[in-house]
Amino acid sequence: MKLRQPTDFLILEALEDKGRNVATNLAAHTGKSRKNINTRLPVLEDYGLVNKIGPAERSGLYEISSTGKAALVYQDQYDEVDDFEALIEGPNAAAEQEGDAQTSFARGENDDEDDE
């Protein structure tokens, strides 16, 4: 996860403070150009920090995700840690995924085996 500072954090802060919004309004709230905001929003969506929401596919309406809120909480540690993504996902993220695999195995839900 490679964030641009301060732009990406300003976008996240604006979405948290003002609620769901479009690039034009976010540009006004952050003091950044609309072009810059339009470039960064899809990247932040790919990182799971924001969600693009309806009503139409091309509406350009975004809201901050729970991961985005976590990024704001740990913003001051962005430059200090090697893996910011792991930090904001929390220590249980990998354990939860591993636990799901173990639960599936325990239930006999192994996709590698053919039914006879």
Domain contains 61: yes
Instruction: Kindly report, residue by residue over 97-115, the tens digit of the pLDDT.
Output: 444 454 444 445 455 544 4
CATH of the domain at 30: 1.10.10.10
Domain contains 111: no
Q: Which pLDDT band holds residue 33 (cuts at 50, 70, 90)?
A: very high
Domain contains 115: no
Domain contains 113: no
CA angle 3/89/78 to nearest 5° reads 35
List own/partner pairs for 55-62 with CB under 8 A and 24 or more apart. Answer: 59/22, 60/22, 60/23, 61/20, 61/21, 61/22, 62/15, 62/20, 62/21, 62/22, 62/26
Domain contains 87: yes
Our measurement of the distance from residue 30's CA atom to the centroid of its chain's CA atoms, rounded to an integer in Å, reads: 19
**Helical pair 34-46 and 7-18, crossing angle rounded to 10 deg:** 80
Instruction: Kindly report, residue by residue over 64-84, the tens digit of the pLDDT.
Output: 999 999 999 999 989 888 888
Distance CA 10, CA 17 (A): 10
Domain count, the chain: 1
The domain of 28 spans 7-106
Domain contains 112: no
The residue that leads in pLDDT, 72 or 59, is 72
